[in-house]
């Protein structure tokens, strides 16, 4: 799979508000699938599992089995790569434009 395909998977995964909320729940510590299901009482277990599958395919979470439990761990590296590739350079460009505008006005 190419880097462009990887980025597409990441953007697709992050496009869903529910998946972003799942990532937020995993930010501080790994959680079992049962814990995540309990955090989303409006969703059935199957729906939560489908969201987790999309996140796992985008490499945003790493799932580990311990006995009967499935522990979900956040993998923030793909988000950092998206930031480094897309957000950082565009933010730097915008700051440069604002800096020049301020200099022109001042």
Q: Which residues of 49-78 are buried (b: 16+ CB within 10 A; e: fewer)?
A: eebbebbeebebbeeeeeeeebbbebbeeb
The answer to whether residue 85 sits within a structural domain is: no
- pLDDT tens for each residue of the chain, 106 residues long: 667 777 899 999 999 999 999 999 999 999 999 999 999 999 999 999 999 999 999 999 999 999 999 999 999 999 999 989 888 888 887 888 888 888 888 7
**Radius of gyration of the chain measured on its C-alpha atoms:** 18
Domain count, the chain: 1
Q: Would you say residue 93 lies in a domain?
A: no
* Position 84 in a domain: no
Name the residue range of residue 67's domain.
3-76
Residue 42: inside a domain, yes or no? yes
Is pTM beyond 0.75? Reply is yes
Q: Residue 41 to residues 48, 71, 74: CA-CA distances in angstroms? A: 10, 19, 21
CATH number, domain containing residue 46: 1.10.10.10
């Amino acid at each position: 799979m190419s880097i462009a395909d990887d980025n597409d998977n990441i953007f697709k995964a992050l496009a869903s508000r529910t998946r972003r909320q799942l990532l937020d729940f995993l930010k501080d510590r790994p959680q079992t699938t049962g814990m995540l299901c309990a955090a989303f009482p409006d969703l059935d277990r199957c729906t939560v599992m489908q969201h987790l599958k999309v996140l796992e395919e985008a490499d945003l979470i790493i799932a580990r089995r311990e006995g009967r439990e499935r522990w979900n761990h956040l993998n923030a590296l793909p988000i950092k790569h998206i930031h480094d590739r897309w957000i950082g350079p565009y933010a730097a460009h915008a700051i440069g434009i604002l800096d020049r505008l301020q200099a022109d006005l001042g």
